[in-house]
Amino acid sequence: FGEVWLVRRKGTLSEDYAVAKIPHSSRSNSKFLQEAKILRRLGEHPNAVRLIEVIKQADKVVLIEEFVDGKTLQELIDEGMEPRQKELLFAQILDLVAFAHDHRIMHRDLKPENILVTSQNLVKVLDFGTAKDVSVKSISSTVIGSRPFMAPEQIMGQSRRASDVWALGVLLYALSTEYLPFYSEREKELMDLILETNPRRPSELIPEIPEELERIILKCLEKDVSKRYHHARSLQEDLKKTFPDFGNGRVIPE
């Protein structure tokens, strides 16, 4: 892939920093240009990292992106969060993914390590380097994603927007129960769990979890793609319709 540097514009006294993403090789140029194209399309959304400029340095394409000062969602999960914060952050993540899906973009690697949260609880979703424009027809069986958050079809090399919905379901399951629905230290065993077994119902772990929240989570984790939400916007609409005050800390249990 490459290196990430914290940079500041030369000759200025500004304390505004940015992030420079530099590929190891010019062979990654096309991938970086694709990421730049995707970031431009997402640029108007407040939860997308802003692309500042694209620079050609020697034979390499360098992306200059906004610097986000914050913690990863994984760090916040490890520290412990109140229900209101969990709901507020998930709602922002969901809105960004729904916006991306509206623009025919799937992220393909949603996980807590790829989500930054500022001190004002503003979410920024990172790493669109593996994202795909679904309007561009290409054939690929490359497995892309992070194992505990990968949908069954993703493991088989067949990503689609519903694969992002699966990852959102894994995240909502984890935020609601403090457990992952599928987990093993052994990669083969983890993949078998995702492909062949159903997760424990969230209410078995947290009896206080609302029945309708459990329904939504389990619909996200349907192995049969035809039974899952096909689009993050559909998930968002169901969540808002079922829990109009989601984000106020009254849905996810303490």
- Which active-site residues does the annotation give? 109
Question: Mapping DSSP to helix (H, G, I), strand (E, B) and coil, where does residue 50 land?
Answer: coil
Residue 102's nearest CA partner among 171, 167, 150, 42 is: 42
Burial 110-123 (b: 16+ CB within 10 A, else e): bbbebbbbeeeeeb
Answer whether 126's CB lies under 8 Å from 114's CB: yes
- Could you tell me the two tokens for 162? 């519903």
- Could you tell me the two tokens for 78? 């490890």
Q: How far apart are CA 231 and CA 122, in angstroms?
A: 23
Q: What is the dihedral of CA 226, 231, 237, 243, to 10 degrees?
A: 70
Answer whether 29's CB lies under 8 Å from 23's CB: yes
Q: What length does the chain have?
A: 254
Q: How far apart are CA 154 and CA 151, in angstroms?
A: 5
